Chain A
Amino acid sequence: VTPDRQDARRGRLKVFLGYAAGVGKTYQMLTEAQDLRRQGVDVVVGYFEPHGRRETIALTEGLESVPRRTIEYRGSRFEEMDTDAILARHPQVAVVDEFAHTNVPGSERLKRWEDVHVLLDAGIDVLTTVNVQHLESLNDQIWSSTGIRVRETIPDWVLKQADEVVMIDLTPRALLNRLERGVVYPTERARRALENFFKEPTLVALRELAMRQAAHAIETRLPEETAEWSDLAAPEAERERVLLVLTANPSSAALIRRGRGVADYLRAECLAVYVSKSADLGHLPPAERDALERHLNFARALQIETRILQGGHVAETIVNFARLNGVTQIFVTRQKSSALRAWFASAFVQRLVTLARDMQVTVVADRSARRERNGA
């Protein structure tokens, strides 16, 4: 295929957003794929997870599938989407289930969403599915309320870049009925699922989160002229800039997620800094340096600009940087690992608040602490 003007166009990404397995995301996606096929569009299935659901499997009938590739890892064989084969086939539209999937080690890319980006870059439109709990910004919230740490996450900007996000809704009661009837999972797995994730209040909460995310996704896509009559066009003076103060403390991960989430809603720019005594991190103990590197990388993965500032007086250094960069809000964590640390943290916040007379200082909640107290 010779690269012509059509190939220069980036593919469109459409996401079917749900809140749990079994709400009908894949079903809806395949229904749409069939509609496209009937209209004469060249659609292939790039990856599909049947889960033994008959009604869903029936919907793949007549659709061409690109065979998966097999990857050996530690003596076992795993099947992954064959991105190269889809590129070679070059359909107009590819159906790719489970957007948040993490590829087995040895795959070319770490995450399926990265494979999807390769397809989009090649001008292939992609239909995909994801559940709201895989969004990075909701990770702590879901952990604190369910005790489940979702490992397969996607950065929020990946969803934000989608051309269309559609919410697939089913009431929790209907979902639980389907689960009990064995539609979603074979029975033994259903029983375990019911015991863990599939508790009614959890489903209700996740469903609400999915609706709010879908609404947010629409809002970020509204054209500017529409934004004006929907109160989104803030005067330049009200534009916010959020600065996250990172440390080696594990609470920094939650700070990054929360800060990014708040900045997104406020349509604010987001920066992150670490204050170091020397120009590089060489003076730090290895464990601390590793933790810090991890936090800086994590922030960058969420498209947060990071800086290492050099200075002896931490609060002064931060406030000077913030003032020079037009920051309106500073986000810090609350560290509670020891009474002494807590005292220092509190003294630090006081100092920051005293110095940053022209800014707001937010102490981000320690949501894991609450989880321990609830004992759930």
Chain B
Amino acid sequence: MSVETGARDPRRDPEALLRHVEAVERAERRGQLKIFLGYASGVGKSFKLFDEGRRRHARGEDVVVAAAQPDSPPDVLQAIAGLDVIPTLTVAGVPVIDVAAILARRPRVCLVDGLAYDNPPGSRHAKRFEDIEELLASGISVLTSVNLEYIAEQQEFVRSVLGTTKTETVPQEFIDRADEVVVVDAPTDGAGISAPQLSLLRQRALLLTADVVDRQLEAYLRLNGIESAWGTQERILVCMTPRANAAKMLASGRRNADRFHGELRAIYVTQENLTPEDRLALARNITLARAQQAQVETLEGRDPIRTILAYARAHGITQIFVGHNLRRTWRSRLGGTPLDRLIRDAEGIDVRVFPQ
């Protein structure tokens, strides 16, 4: 069975295996990064962070505090009390973590409360997350904390909810690369933020963390050669043909993906002997799919149904959207009804048939 879907079996791909081995070796040398993500101030991220530091210290790990927030509440101060502190340097009134002192001290774990700081000009790095990057690279693990509103890619959302944005931000990619992300979902009165605003921020923080977790799960399953079967996130696949009413399927796919906070993909399996009109229609459909922010791919495969299903399995699809006229499109060549086969063989995946 050879199906060209672009998905590779990591067990049989020496390059992927090598990359994996290298990644593992790198991970062994690198420190571990753990981020406590909150949706607003006052949810207790700092306490969680220092409390974990305190517990690790109690279990014999070498833990130091590299940065705490000014005016920490009593429970935080109590958690910090028994820990070594490497004070921040104050440069132009800004607290900067003392990377050189930490590297000289070489602790196992370093606590940095507050991730999104810009360092003043002339500092070792322009951003605090770059300081952390250097600590990680030198093998020191870091526990740190950040609020949703300080993530660069979330600024548009934050503006829509709060009407303001932050200038000192951390790229989403830094969060994505963390070994562990913990969402701190405790209630807060939110100092001047209304309950609905807090709800929206909470929801976004949970979904953002869920996406990070989903990518970690996917990576794990892929590495272990396990077919992605959990379906923790809804993933919709729209199958386009030249004559399908793709506009309706794509619009519905977009709406459904949004409601599920899921993913939308659209594929086309190439066919021979397309008429010029078909080609035009197909180009139009692909444009439509891009406009709906679907991930669009064109696949090759002699057996379209098998190609669609192989792609769906490789990408953890939970729902396949097809047009009713799928029957007509491929029947002549295969002498059966492709829709039947798709429904019969799409084990574990819902098939939604659209009228055309």
Q: Is B108 at the interface (CB under 8 A from chain A)?
A: no
* Cβ–Cβ < 8 Å partners of A360 in chain B: 252, 352-355
Flag if B348 contacts A215 (CB, 8 Å): no
Flag if A353 contacts B353 (CB, 8 Å): yes
Flag if A200 contacts B220 (CB, 8 Å): yes
Of the residues A205, A350, A369, contact of B339 by C-beta under 8 Å: A350
* Cβ–Cβ < 8 Å partners of A145 in chain B: 229-231
Flag if B233 contacts A208 (CB, 8 Å): yes
Flag if B203 contacts A215 (CB, 8 Å): yes
> CB-nearest residue of chain A relative to B226?
A201
Stretch of A88-96, A164-172, A184-192 on the interface side: A164-172
Q: Is B54 at the interface (CB under 8 A from chain A)?
A: no
* Cβ–Cβ < 8 Å partners of A174 in chain B: 180
* Cβ–Cβ < 8 Å partners of B14 in chain A: none
Stretch of A107-115, A221-229, A281-289, A309-317 on the interface side: A221-229
* Cβ–Cβ < 8 Å partners of B337 in chain A: 350
Given contacts A353-B324, A356-B355, contact A373 B347 (CB under 8 A): yes
**Distance in angstroms between the alpha carbons of A226 and B160 in the assembled complex:** 11
Given contacts A145-B230, A370-B347, contact A169 B352 (CB under 8 A): no
Question: Which of chain B's residues 261-312 have a Cβ closer than 8 Å to chain A?
Answer: 261
Q: Is A358 at the interface (CB under 8 A from chain B)?
A: yes
Flag if B355 contacts A170 (CB, 8 Å): no
Q: Is B126 at the interface (CB under 8 A from chain A)?
A: no
Question: Which of chain B's residues 184-226 have a Cβ closer than 8 Å to chain A?
Answer: 184-187, 196, 199-200, 202-203, 206-207, 209-210, 213-214, 216-217, 220-221, 224, 226
From A201, A211, A258, name the one whose CB has the most chain B CB atoms within 10 angstroms: A211
* Cβ–Cβ < 8 Å partners of A357 in chain B: 355
Q: Is A42 at the interface (CB under 8 A from chain B)?
A: no
**Distance in angstroms between the alpha carbons of A144 and B221 in the assembled complex:** 15
**Distance in angstroms between the alpha carbons of A180 and B207 in the assembled complex:** 29
Flag if B350 contacts A365 (CB, 8 Å): yes
Number of A-B contacts (CB under 8 A): 156
From A209, A218, A267, A361, name the one whose CB has the most chain B CB atoms within 10 angstroms: A218
Q: Is B346 at the interface (CB under 8 A from chain A)?
A: yes
**Distance in angstroms between the alpha carbons of A225 and B318 in the assembled complex:** 32
Of the residues B258, B327, B354, contact of A231 by C-beta under 8 Å: B258
Flag if B200 contacts A258 (CB, 8 Å): no
Q: Is A238 at the interface (CB under 8 A from chain B)?
A: yes
Flag if A212 contacts B210 (CB, 8 Å): yes
Q: Is A277 at the interface (CB under 8 A from chain B)?
A: no
Q: Is A9 at the interface (CB under 8 A from chain B)?
A: no
Q: Is B34 at the interface (CB under 8 A from chain A)?
A: yes
Query: B303 → chain A, closest Cβ, in Å?
Result: 18
Q: Is B232 at the interface (CB under 8 A from chain A)?
A: yes
**Distance in angstroms between the alpha carbons of A361 and B350 in the assembled complex:** 10
**Distance in angstroms between the alpha carbons of A357 and B245 in the assembled complex:** 13
> CB-nearest residue of chain B relative to A14?
B187
Given contacts A167-B183, A169-B182, A231-B258, contact A205 B348 (CB under 8 A): no
Q: Is B12 at the interface (CB under 8 A from chain A)?
A: no
- Determine the interface band of chain B, counting residues with CB < 8 A from chain A: 35 or more
**Distance in angstroms between the alpha carbons of A207 and B186 in the assembled complex:** 16
Flag if B232 contacts A201 (CB, 8 Å): no
Flag if B259 contacts A266 (CB, 8 Å): yes
**Distance in angstroms between the alpha carbons of A361 and B319 in the assembled complex:** 12
Q: Is B255 at the interface (CB under 8 A from chain A)?
A: yes
Given contacts A222-B200, A226-B200, A353-B355, contact A366 B217 (CB under 8 A): no
**Distance in angstroms between the alpha carbons of A234 and B258 in the assembled complex:** 12
Of the residues B210, B256, B324, B340, contact of A215 by C-beta under 8 Å: B210
Query: B55 → chain A, closest Cβ, in Å?
Result: 10
**Distance in angstroms between the alpha carbons of A358 and B353 in the assembled complex:** 11
Contact with B along A340-376 (1 / 0, CB 8 A): 0010001001100110111111111111011001100
Q: Is A307 at the interface (CB under 8 A from chain B)?
A: no
Contact with B along A228-270 (1 / 0, CB 8 A): 0111001000100000000000000000001000000111000
From A226, A258, A366, name the one whose CB has the most chain B CB atoms within 10 angstroms: A226
* Cβ–Cβ < 8 Å partners of B350 in chain A: 258, 362-365
Flag if B184 contacts A169 (CB, 8 Å): yes
Contact with B along A108-144 (1 / 0, CB 8 A): 0000000000000000000000000000000001001
Given contacts A145-B230, A208-B217, contact A226 B352 (CB under 8 A): no
Contact with A along B233-273 (1 / 0, CB 8 A): 11000000000000000001001101111000000000000
Query: B354 → chain A, closest Cβ, in Å?
Result: 6
Given contacts A201-B220, A204-B220, contact A219 B203 (CB under 8 A): yes
Q: Is A300 at the interface (CB under 8 A from chain B)?
A: no
Query: B220 → chain A, closest Cβ, in Å?
Result: 5
* Cβ–Cβ < 8 Å partners of B353 in chain A: 349, 353, 360-363
Flag if B206 contacts A214 (CB, 8 Å): yes
Flag if B255 contacts A208 (CB, 8 Å): no
> CB-nearest residue of chain B relative to A329?
B352
Flag if A362 contacts B352 (CB, 8 Å): yes
**Distance in angstroms between the alpha carbons of A366 and B349 in the assembled complex:** 8
**Distance in angstroms between the alpha carbons of A357 and B184 in the assembled complex:** 48
Query: B201 → chain A, closest Cβ, in Å?
Result: 10
**Distance in angstroms between the alpha carbons of A354 and B308 in the assembled complex:** 23
**Distance in angstroms between the alpha carbons of A219 and B207 in the assembled complex:** 11
**Distance in angstroms between the alpha carbons of A250 and B349 in the assembled complex:** 18
Query: B84 → chain A, closest Cβ, in Å?
Result: 22
Q: Is B227 at the interface (CB under 8 A from chain A)?
A: yes
Of the residues B232, B261, B348, B354, contact of A365 by C-beta under 8 Å: B348
* Cβ–Cβ < 8 Å partners of A160 in chain B: none
Of the residues A28, A167, A354, A367, contact of B348 by C-beta under 8 Å: A367
Of the residues A173, A219, A238, A354, contact of B180 by C-beta under 8 Å: A173
Q: Is B19 at the interface (CB under 8 A from chain A)?
A: no
Query: B57 → chain A, closest Cβ, in Å?
Result: 15
Given contacts A169-B183, A226-B196, A231-B258, contact A350 B347 (CB under 8 A): no
Q: Is B351 at the interface (CB under 8 A from chain A)?
A: yes
Extra contacts besides A141-B231, A201-B221 (14): CB < 8 Å? A204-B220, A208-B213, A219-B203, A229-B160, A231-B258, A265-B234, A265-B260, A266-B259, A267-B259, A334-B344, A349-B353, A350-B327, A361-B353, A370-B348
Q: Can you give 7 contacting A-B residue pairs, CB < 8 Å?
A: A144-B229, A170-B182, A201-B220, A265-B260, A350-B340, A370-B348, A374-B227
Residue ranges of B at the interface with A (Cβ–Cβ < 8 Å): 34, 160, 180-187, 196, 199-200, 202-203, 206-207, 209-210, 213-214, 216-217, 220-221, 224, 226-227, 229-234, 252, 255-256, 258-261, 318-319, 324, 327, 337, 339-340, 343-344, 346-355
Which 3 pairs show the lowest CB-CB distances between chains A and B?
A370-B348, A211-B210, A226-B196
